[in-house]
Structure 1
Amino acid sequence: MFNRRAFLAASAASVALATVRPGLAADKAPGGGDAAASLNQLLDTFFQEDLRRSPEGATLAGMDTGKLAGLRAKLDDRSPAGRKADAAAAESQLRRLRALDRKALTGIDAVNYDSVDYVLADAVESNRKFPFGSGGSPYELCQLQGSYQSIPNFLDVHHPIEGKADADAYLARLEAFAGTLDTETAQFRQDAAHGILAADFMLDTTLTQLRALRVEAGASGLVSSVARRAKEKGLGDAYGAQAAKIYTDKVGPALDRQIAAVAAARKTATHDAGVWHIKDGEAWYAQGLKSSTTTTLSPDEVHQIGLDQAKEIGARLETLLAAQGLTQGTVAERIKALRARPDSTYPNTDAGKAQLIADLQVKLDEMAGRLPRIFRDIPKAKARVQRVPPAVETGAPLAYYESPPLEGERVGTIYFNLHDTAEWPKWSLPTTVYHEGIPGHHLQGCIAQETKGIPLYRANMFFSGYGEGWALYAEQLADELGMYDADPLGRIGFLKFLLFRAGRCVIDTGMHHKRWSREQAVKYMVDLTGDTESAMTRETDRYCAWPGQACSYKIGHTLWNRLRDQARTALGDKFDIKDFHQVGLNSGAVPLDVLQTMVGDYIARVQRG
């Protein structure tokens, strides 16, 4: 179930940034020099091992050069042999890690060890239990899983073409894509024969997407990407013709075979949304929830947390909405009414969109000015708000964050998709910019970038419970710092999004553990949040493809708060929120179980004086 390559792909930016991070942590505890050096050397070895097994990860990280230049012409090995090699590597790395003396490590080195041990142990356990699934999904193919989903965009956006060698490597990867498709088709058939098959509605979307990809060579983006870029580099028209032949002879037929296999399996698919309906599905979900949240919370505990917090947040929203004159109906109905107000959105014009971006930059800058009140370490890199370029906004997410580049102007960017400003009520914008920017992903990521002593292998890891949990906690910090004191509608937006994340915990565990139907889950979210049925259907289908992942946001947020309360209670007058944030951020991303240990050590250290 655990896919090491997925970690490489998901955090390539972190890897690239980590390549320039020298030295040891400034706050590293003394002692353990030999043990620390052995650990760092071992983790560097692990990183190189993983990089060589993931050509796509190497390209994403910008490290397919020099001695690794040969990786640029290859794709990841998704064959049974490749998966077996990944599983064997995880077992080997865990054995070698545990051969070191953990007790000899302190400070950042101990955190590095514990984080890597957690990931490797989870990988080994998952691989031993479940011979199916990858990338966080139990399904080989569905609407969000499969190389048909990832490789076309990877080749177009991430495979560089600067000269002949790059264009040749593109053609080699295009040809390899056909083999990858056939490998996954064979695995899909095998899984389906054992009852491991996505729901009918998921396969319907999968078929729609596959058929949209299967066009004539002249209309394929796989062909036009290399044709256009090679010509721009003065390489002529030959590459377009060669790509068209590869597509016609190999990729197209492989897509046809995959479409046929999915269409045949669709006839036997059920409408059951939850992973419980597949072989070993209940056990898979328990493990998947653990992997996604990096906690030991049970599905029932996560479900109850979602219900309890939805109730509490809903009560707070009811009071705030009433103060805005919205006193009738449920919270969801009142949110719909608020959204329908004519002044709730910016004009859907270039001028209106420019004003939206300018207003958010003002809020972000104001937030940055308040950071010293609760943070000891302030990122050196600045943050800016920009509009997603109109040329690509139809396929871009609603909002996302891009880390600062390594060279030149060190500025992180928060992008907003403004294809239609009606998708962005004014009251929903501030909490989003705090989540993606300051004090959210930008602050957390930049502090990690600027922290010494985190080896490449560790810097390559991403933990959704930690990172997304921090971003939700950051939204809360904005409220605590008074950003909504003069903006009551902004506070409603903050709580509405928090309510949405609580609802995710309810319906994810509802479908996968309590056997809710897709329709029951959609209705719950519509009734809870006031969002449209179409939007909540898309969200629900995402949770069906990646069981457990959606819970990580609110569980992470809950734990950050719980640990802060624990430290404040234990330390009393000795509690300093700046110290708490420094402990939580200055070791980079960690599993939440490791974060709990770190905070516990911090409490004990302060108590000892």
Structure 2
Amino acid sequence: MSTETTIAARPATNLDRIADDFLAKFVALSPITATYLGIPGHDEELDDFSPAGHEAHAALRAETLAQLDQVEPVDDIDRVTLAAMRERLGLAEETHRAGIDEMSLNVIASPMQEVRGCFDLMPTATDEDWGVISRRLQRVPDALRGWKESLLSASAKGNIAPRRQVEACIQQCADLVADDGYFAHLVADARLAEATGPGELAAATRETLAAAAEAAAAAYAELRGWLKDHLLDDAPEADACGQERYALLSRSFLGARVDLAETYAWGQQEVERITAQMEEVADRIKPGSTVKEAIAALDADPAYQLHGTDELKAWMQQRADEAIANLAGTHFDIPDPVRTIECLIAPTQTGGIYYTGPSEDFSRPGRMWWSVPKGVTEFGTWKELTTVYHEGVPGHHLQVAQTVFRSELLNKWRRMLAWTSGHGEGWALYAERLMDELGYMDDPGAKMGLLDSQSLRAARVVIDIGVHCGFEAPAEVGGGEWTYDKAWQYLTDHANQGEAWLRFELDRYLGWPGQAPSYKIGERLWMQLRDQVAEREGAAFSLKDFHRRALDIGGVGLDTLREAVLGELG
């Protein structure tokens, strides 16, 4: 039985209409975002990544910000919307004026990955669905062409991503178009996603798909050469973006202003605290062992082993479903549609786990994806349980899907587009810590997995801020100026994943400044907010009520969240 309390629908306000109009115009400019959000009508299209496309977004933001200046909020929900939209759109304008959108190129979240990634979320149940995929594939060359125009425009202004990022993107292009790469598999593995099992595409559909995939692959192959010929030689060797740009990016990812020097020092303290805890748990796992020896023992323990992706997928689903059943009605209100999460093996092979939210009508559920690297067939549950809680419940799935569900309270922009990394990823780390507080991580292996994850997140606060802001490196890596080798040493001293995965992670930090620290800093701000509310309410404090109140606000910036929860918005 659902524990959800029915709430009367709130009448739409003028501010709601402005917000929803902005969302509609935004997804028209960004069909990739429409697909990600499950908004129909744009699945054959791709974004315009050219300078003209960026200017169209800027014009929409300017128009909307002007409208916001003319409207008065009518209630607390409006006040949050107004503060959140001004903060998000205003920061987007600052980053646009700084040329950051135009120069976007990195190993994980730039147009070349966004174009490819949108195909993962498209329906595949019918031949017509595959026809839509084919027609979108045909637009890939134009999308990449527009991106190259922006890169050239940014280059002329002296804004070029670091050489390390350009080289990595060149390799990603090669991987995508290889004989065993994404586009080859897309055609070879294409099936109808029927309820009774995978069905065959019609011959004409497969032929059209093959031709479209070949054109898209050719565009990526051409992009590989273009990056070599037009960008690589001019790309700077230095990875650091500098304090001024970093401060702007940090605000964008957090929705909050933090003291970067203080946060850098705190990150080092967190690494030391977590390392001490890991040493204590290692002794419980294998008395007298080091952390790395204890981890080796966990990896060898059959009790924690899964064999093959089928076992992995089933285990993910079981753990996610258990969390929903156990937490609903106790520490969270979980609406019925949110109680469904789908765990899947991703079509890519880059490594890592990620979450995609449900469509607005929940016809497409929230999904937890595991991108399994090539050749990996063995998995250790000891280190992955905490990640399931991070991506699923009470992490991203509960956070994102519950906000999507709140149509009786929140406009579409608040429910579907007001995402801030520090809010979202900070909540997911808070969710991991909460599950530990509730006793779900008492097993020594699971506890080590949690601490190992926390150690990585704390270490990247230090590396990301330290490298990009030019702060002195920790004494344990020799102090002085940060270098790639010092960053690699620090990362491998405090993270225990495989080398290939960690190399990619370090490239991510170096090429996407401010994003990776938003997890751990966001967790810190979430914990501080919970402590503030608990201190204010004393014996009346309810953890379940705090969760409900905070999650109902949606994924706004963390400064806006704090002011809204504490009732400090003007």
Both proteins in one fold, TM over 0.5: yes
Of 364, 369, 381 in structure 2, the residue corresponding to residue 426 of structure 1 is 381
Of 286, 301, 306 in structure 1, the residue corresponding to residue 267 of structure 2 is 306
Q: Which amino acid aligns with 1:361?
A: Q
In the alignment, is residue 287 of structure 1 matched against residue 237 of structure 2? Answer: no
Deviation at 1:321, TM superposition (A): 2.0
Question: Which residue of the partner structure matches residue 115 of structure 2?
Answer: 151
CA contact (8 A) 2:19 2:413 kept: yes
The number of residue pairs the alignment matches comes to 544
The normalised TM-score by structure 1 is 0.77
Taking the aligned partners of 1:417 and 1:237, their CA distance within structure 2 comes to 25
Question: Which residue of the partner structure matches residue 441 of structure 2?
Answer: 484
Taking the aligned partners of 1:169 and 1:414, their CA distance within structure 2 comes to 22
Question: Which residue of the partner structure matches residue 141 of structure 2?
Answer: 178
Taking the aligned partners of 1:286 and 1:174, their CA distance within structure 2 comes to 37
Taking the aligned partners of 1:310 and 1:445, their CA distance within structure 2 comes to 29
Question: Which residue of the partner structure matches residue 562 of structure 2?
Answer: 596
Matched residue SS, 2:71: coil
Deviation at 1:207, TM superposition (A): 1.7
Question: Which residue of the partner structure matches residue 402 of structure 2?
Answer: 447
In the alignment, is residue 436 of structure 1 matched against residue 402 of structure 2? Answer: no
Question: Which residue of the partner structure matches residue 174 of structure 2?
Answer: 211
Matched residue SS, 1:232: coil
1:387-426 equivalences under 5 Å are 388-389=344-345, 395=349, 397-403=351-357, 413-416=367-370, 424-426=379-381
Provide closer, same or farther for how the CA distance between residues 520 and 91 of structure 1 changes in structure 2, counting only shifts above 3 A: same
CA contact (8 A) 1:293 1:552 kept: yes
In the alignment, is residue 516 of structure 1 matched against residue 482 of structure 2? Answer: yes
Taking the aligned partners of 1:118 and 1:534, their CA distance within structure 2 comes to 37
Provide closer, same or farther for how the CA distance between residues 27 and 471 of structure 1 changes in structure 2, counting only shifts above 3 A: farther
Q: Which amino acid aligns with 1:191?
A: A
CA contact (8 A) 1:504 1:550 kept: yes
Q: Which runs of 5 or more residues in structure 2 are unaligned?
A: 1-5, 193-198, 471-480
Taking the aligned partners of 1:563 and 1:40, their CA distance within structure 2 comes to 27
More helix by share: 1
1:494-509 equivalences under 5 Å are 494-509=450-465
Q: Which amino acid aligns with 2:99?
A: P
Matched residue SS, 1:503: helix
Deviation at 1:590, TM superposition (A): 1.6
Deviation at 1:322, TM superposition (A): 2.2
Matched residue SS, 2:13: helix
Q: Which runs of 5 or more residues in structure 1 are unaligned?
A: 1-23, 66-70, 277-281, 605-609
Matched residue SS, 1:561: helix
CA contact (8 A) 1:163 1:235 kept: no
Question: Which residue of the partner structure matches residue 232 of structure 1?
Answer: 201
Question: Which residue of the partner structure matches residue 266 of structure 1?
Answer: 232
Question: Which residue of the partner structure matches residue 196 of structure 2?
Answer: none
Taking the aligned partners of 2:132 and 2:448, their CA distance within structure 1 comes to 54
Larger Rg: 1
Between the aligned residues of both structures, percent identity stands at 28
CA contact (8 A) 2:246 2:469 kept: yes
The normalised TM-score by structure 2 is 0.82
In the alignment, is residue 561 of structure 1 matched against residue 532 of structure 2? Answer: no
Q: Which amino acid aligns with 1:518?
A: Y
Provide closer, same or farther for how the CA distance between residues 283 and 222 of structure 1 changes in structure 2, counting only shifts above 3 A: farther
Deviation at 1:547, TM superposition (A): 0.9
CA contact (8 A) 1:335 1:530 kept: no
Taking the aligned partners of 1:480 and 1:579, their CA distance within structure 2 comes to 17
Provide closer, same or farther for how the CA distance between residues 78 and 132 of structure 1 changes in structure 2, counting only shifts above 3 A: same
Provide closer, same or farther for how the CA distance between residues 541 and 53 of structure 1 changes in structure 2, counting only shifts above 3 A: same
Deviation at 1:370, TM superposition (A): 4.6
CA contact (8 A) 2:304 2:380 kept: yes
CA contact (8 A) 2:308 2:377 kept: no
Taking the aligned partners of 1:183 and 1:305, their CA distance within structure 2 comes to 42
CA RMSD of aligned residues (A): 3.9
Matched residue SS, 2:47: coil
Taking the aligned partners of 1:254 and 1:362, their CA distance within structure 2 comes to 38
Question: Which residue of the partner structure matches residue 426 of structure 2?
Answer: 469
1:231-380 equivalences under 5 Å are 232-233=201-202, 235=204, 239=208, 243=212, 247=215, 252=218, 255-256=221-222, 259-276=225-242, 282-329=243-290, 331=291, 333-343=292-302, 345-348=304-307, 353=311, 357-358=314-315, 361=318, 365=322, 368-375=325-332, 377-380=333-336
Matched residue SS, 2:393: coil
Question: Which residue of the partner structure matches residue 23 of structure 2?
Answer: 47
Deviation at 1:236, TM superposition (A): 6.0
CA contact (8 A) 1:146 1:184 kept: no
Taking the aligned partners of 1:340 and 1:241, their CA distance within structure 2 comes to 41
Matched residue SS, 1:589: coil
CA contact (8 A) 1:214 1:256 kept: no
CA contact (8 A) 2:81 2:414 kept: yes
